[in-house]
Amino acid sequence: MSIPDYQTIMKPLLQYLNDHSGQNRMQDVIEGMIEHFAISEDERVEMLPSGQQHVIDNRVGWARTYLKKAGLLEDPKRGYVQISEKGKSVVNENPAEINVKFLNRFPEFQEFRKRRNKKVDEIIDENIEDQNDDLSPNELLEKGIGIIHADLGEELLKGTSKN
């Protein structure tokens, strides 16, 4: 099994926090998701292209951020997370899936999305619409930066070869 995308993590994450009421350390939550998705040790240590963070940590982090922006989670203190009353209501609804489309029903989430840079939104929305939603926003940005660097390198090489 490969590492799930951040949207696939949303529902199990919310369920985990519902089952483990109270304040939960994010590291424990990440470990819970690793266990839930039966992530192998090789997948566990897989890093983002930047080398700054593990892929699974990043994706759980983005799932947490999006759920929090929708008002389904709360951060009681740094490094901790807990389910909100609204989050408990969603768990009780038992939706088939929780993803960005589902979160758009919440005004807080809509407001969060309005505040983001429109260009970033276009890239992310295009990626989601194309069903290529296995990349977190960080991964999309890193991919975009990689493309820009490659294009810039190509332009520089063309410029020096003309001289």
**For residue 82, what are the β-bridge partners?**
74
Q: Is the pLDDT of residue 122 over 70?
A: no
Whether 130 is covered by a domain: the verdict is no
Whether 22 is covered by a domain: the verdict is yes
What confidence tens digit (pLDDT) does each residue in 40-95 have?
999 999 999 889 999 999 999 999 999 999 999 999 999 999 999 999 999 999 99
Whether 27 is covered by a domain: the verdict is yes
Instruction: Name residues whose C-beta falls within 8 Å of residue 79's C-beta, 6 or more positions apart in sequence.
Output: 25, 26, 27
What confidence tens digit (pLDDT) does each residue in 93-109 have?
999 999 999 999 999 99
Whether 48 is covered by a domain: the verdict is yes
Average model confidence (pLDDT) across the chain: 87
Q: Where are the beta strands (DSSP E) in the chain?
A: 24-25, 73-74, 80-83
Q: Mapping DSSP to helix (H, G, I), strand (E, B) and coil, where does residue 54 land?
A: strand
Per-range mean pLDDT, top range of 73-87, 126-140, 146-160: 73-87
Q: Is the pLDDT of residue 159 over 90?
A: no
With bands split at pLDDT 50, 70 and 90, how would you rate the model's confidence at 162? low
Whether 79 is covered by a domain: the verdict is yes
Whether 141 is covered by a domain: the verdict is no
CA distances from 115 to 54, 59, 121 (A): 27, 21, 10
Domain range enclosing 88: 6-116
Q: Is the pLDDT of residue 116 over 90?
A: no
The model carries a pTM of 0.76
Whether 57 is covered by a domain: the verdict is yes
CATH number reported for the structural domain that contains residue 31 in this entry? 1.10.10.10
Q: Which two tokens stand for residue 32?
A: 């819970």
pLDDT value at residue 15: 99
Q: Is the pLDDT of residue 152 over 90?
A: no
Q: Is the pLDDT of residue 127 over 80?
A: no
